[in-house]
Structures are given as C-alpha cells and as structure tokens.
Structure 1
Amino acid sequence: MLSEISVSINESVKNTDNGAVRPMSSPYLKYAKEYLITPEIGYYSMDVPSGEELKTGFQTANSSLGIIFCLGGSSVFTISKNGLTYEYTLRQGECSIAYMPYAAGISAIDSRKRYRAVNMFIVPLRVRNHSFGHPMAESFLQEITRTAKDSIFLTKGNITKDILKILQELISTKASGFSYRNLDISRLYELVMLTVESLNTKKQFRQKNILQPEDINLILNAGRLITENLSNPPTLVSLAKSAGLNLFKLKNGFKEVFGTTVNGFITDKRMEKAKVMLESGDYSVSNIAWDLGYTNVSHFIELFRRQYGMTPGKLLSEQRSRSVSKLISSARQSII
C-alpha cells in the first residue's frame, strides 16, 4: 500500500490554552507513537511496519531546526528550495541535523524493512538558554540563528551510545496526554547538546547559499570587476554595491561559483597575470609586483612561490634563458 501524505510542520501542531503545543488530527500521526511537543522543543517517535511505502511531503517553518534519529530501516529525504534540489539518505544508526527555512521536501521510507525513528524540532534561539556547559552546542545554535533565510544546512553522523540511551528512555514510556514532563524536557535538551557535540557541528558547519541564476550572473560580473582592477581591487563593501549583491551572497557566492574567497580570487588572478608578464620577459620582478598593487615585493614573491612552486625570479631567469637559446638557434639557422 502506498500512502501519500502532505504535512506542513506549521499546520501539524496548534497551541493549547496553557500555551503548550499539541498535534492536530492528521493521517501523518498514524505512525507517531510517543511524543511531546512544546513551543521551543519537542519530539515524536515513528514506527512504520515493513511493506508500508510511506511517502511524506513536508513544508518547513522559518526558525525550527530538525534532528532525526534513525533506529531502524532507512529513508530518503529530498529537499527543494529556489529551484534547486538536495537529497540524502538516513540509515539505521545515523542521525541528521537540518536547518532549512521555508523549504519543501519529501521523505520516502524504504518499505522493505520496519522503519523506526525519533524526530525532533527545536527553536535554536530559545534552546540556547539551556546550553550552559556545552560551549560547542551553544556556538552552533548561535550560528544557526544567524543563517540567511535563503540558505540551508544539512549534516549527518552516527548515533552514539549516550544518545541511544536517551532515545530508548524517551520512547520506552508513553507520554501521558500532552502535558509537560520535566524528565522528558530535560532529557530533550541534553539530547540536543550531545547530538551537536557528537557531530562536531562547530567544525562541519557550512552555510549553503541557494543562488538564483541572476545571482550567479552578478557574482560573475563581480569577478570581472576584480580582474579589470587587479592593481587596486575594490573593497568588499564597494564590490558588493557595484555588483548589486549583499555581503553574505557575495562572500558565499564566490566560494560556490569560483571555489575560493574574494581575497583568494584576487590573489589567484594577480598570480596568473604575474606569470604571463614574467613569461613575456619584458618586466622585472619588482615592476610586476608594483604593477599588481604589491608594495612589499617579498610578500609578492612568497605568494607566487606558493602558487607555482618557484620564485618569480627563477621563472624569469628560465624564461630569459629560453629566449636567448631561441635567438642563438635562429641566428645559426640563418647563417647555415
């Protein structure tokens, strides 16, 4: 049997009179077992029997961070945003963290095996207040709150023994109604901190900029502006203004389009031009450095050596030797 269910995270819960949040009636909850949902943090466990080909559509909110722990089976997540699509598979023993504001997606469960998972939703800005003693988690949650709304963040890793212990504790006892349970809440906070730290998210964190075609053209134009002004390249602020981009898209867009930072791009283009000038044999090393905007010739020499594995002086010397050899060879041919 194939179940097609479309669920919006925003629509699947509602506020109660006491301010708590509880699930609304939805066919999606057919497979939800134990759960606890509050305005800032919550979870529900999924248990889908084998043979049930569940395909679930979802729409994310603007501030929630999702964590999924796969305890059995596997599922494939396909996320669509601004015309681009991202896909990843979550298998037994793995967990994932995702921040995807205003994105749509589909999760498809592999029907060949029983699928068991625990899904968590947290509001990073609120949960940060409980991160005392977990500096890495606090730093990550702070970073997430600053992520641009046109970006996504995805990472996954393995479920540790400490994490598994809390998960088993959470799903072993059924929640009584939809009331707050202090044990659950405190363990949920601990679960978030342990998950962030186990995935070493501080180091893995990458903001994936979702570029529109017009953004790419603007970034390419910014690259052209730099190339045309290598001796005196524009500052980041002036470049962003000239190209019609904000600083976030300029910085992250350069990494996506050119594979390097703005400063890295400037250095690469300067070294490329320096190599061409050296190979012509018409310029001295110091003249090339000054022409490219380097007031410290030694700094220019070191950058060139890092780029090409030799100093510009050596390249110039080899080029001039080759030129002399060609002249001598040409002269001999004309005499013969």
Structure 2
Amino acid sequence: MQQAEKRDAGTSNTFRINYNSADDLACKDPVELSKSLVPGQKTGPEMFSITPVRQGFCMYAARIDPKHLAEYEFEIEHAPLQFGYCLSGSTHTVYTGKKKSTGAQFTNQAGTNSICRMSGTSGVSRLLGQETFNSIAIQIDAALLARYLDVDLKNIFEPCRRILQGESPICGLPMTGAMLNTAHQVFACDLSGSSRQLFMEAKAVELLSLQIDLLTRTPGVSPDRPLMPEEEESIRNAARILIRDMQAPPTISILARKAGLNEFKLKKGFKQVFGTTILQYLQHHRMACARDMIINQGANVSQAADFVGYINIGHFIACYKRQFGTTPGNHKCGHRDS
C-alpha cells in the first residue's frame, strides 16, 4: 500500500493500492499502516491490527476517527476479495473511475456486511458524522474461497455473485446476529502473544464460515420479500435515530412513527436489514460506544454508563459483560497503561 501526496491539511489523503494476494496485506506492519492513514497523528494503539490466518487469508481490524481522517481518495489496481463487518460509524463512497464502477455509490454503516472486489476501481470515501468508524474485515484470495464454496456460483445471491465474478465492486448485506457477535469479540479481545493470535485466527475462520453460509443460502439471503429501496431507507433512518438518541431512545411505536412505518414493518424490516432486533441493535451500539470511551478516551465506568444512557450501573455492567465476556472495570484496568 502506497500513500500519495497528502492533501487538504490532513483531512484528505490519496491511497494507491496494488496487491494481488491477501498475503501482501498480512505482511504489513500495522504501525506503519496507521501512520500511512494519518501521517503525523497519534491515532491510538488499536488504529490498525492485522492477523495472518493462512496463506491467502488474513483479517484486520480498523478504527478511524473522523477528526483525524474525514475523507480519503483511493486508486486500486489489484486487491483480493474482502468481506467487511461494520460495528460503528458510517462512510459514504463514490466511485469516480474505471468502467465497471463509475457512478456507483455505497454507504457502509453499523450492521452492514460489505462484500468487495475492488480491483480496477477508484473514488472518494467520506466518514459521516462524528462517530468513530470501527470495522473488521477478512481478505481472501479468490482461489482459496473457491475451495470452500461447494455450490455453483449461479446459486449464490445475485448481487454477491456479481461481486465474486468481478462484475461489480461492492454490495452490502445485513450482518447476521452471529456475525455481529463475532466481530465484537475481535474488538473486545484482551489476550496477548500466541493466545491472541490463536483467538484471532479462530474468529477469522468463524467469520468466513458465517459468510459462506450467508452467501450460499438459497433461493437468496432471506426468504422474505425484498424490501423496496424506500422501505430500506426508512429502516436505516430508524437506525440512525436510535444511534443519535441512544441516551434516551424512543419507544418502538414512536420510532416507527418517526420512520414512517407501522410497528410490524419496522420490526420485520429491521431484522432483514441488520440481522438483529431493534433492541439488540441498540444495545450492541451502546456497548461498543461504552467500550470505546473506556479504552480509548479514558472514561471511567460511571461516565461510560451515563454517556450511553444507563442509570443503573449494575445493569450496565451486566450488559457489558454479556457482550464482551468481561466487565468494563477489567477493560479499564487492562488498558490503563496503553
């Protein structure tokens, strides 16, 4: 990965990427990658982490603060397949070059499973809002993925098939609840050394297995009637309202009214778009924000609980432990010297 001339006083960079195999990313130094994203900025110990899994297969976790990198341009000659799992924040990408992608647009936000084959693309990506963009991605060479896929490509959900065949650069699916849990576990891992490596390898394989299961379901990703574009936008708007008002979230009936849907359509559609219930989505987001405050912003447990809208500290700690497998106090102590 090579960084081109820095632009726009630190808020916009151009990245030129040219690598054929996931192994090319796996051998990169995470610290150097962080520096290439935001030259001269201290971006935190978890800005970028990379886990090699096996030849042609790796996983990385990225945390991007909009205050440090609000916008970047990219030019990609060659890159392996990528499956992404967005946990918080959102980005909007406009493809400005290359025949197969010119004019395409994609919004990646919390709860989205993105499927990318970005070779031969260019464009600009902007972070939306002030929330930190946290995501997990696995990169895998097409030949290795083909060994795991035990179905004909024609049986794969059509938008995904177009990506795998190189006819389109990117599409998004709702993350399943299992994907969401696994991706959160990657960010929550407090292990080190060989134990951490083994844990990360296991989670990368788990994500790949969940991804293949989602790709190969027939006759499509969901047996439900596909949502109309305006219906999906209403569901995503409801999610934005939940995130914006997480300290005092609206009831489902009020949320449905704000989104312009009835309660049944909102609940069913939310499951289709995000692969989880409204309440689970809100709780996952609250806990992710709380963890970010504790580990990266120096907040104590009470401050984090208050910020995400919990009055009862005991209830907050119980929810936090259920999601991350440890208490917020343990996370605070474990990262005190980071």
State TM-score, norm by structure 2.
0.47
- TM-score between the two structures when normalised by the length of structure 1: 0.47
The structure that has the greater radius of gyration is 1
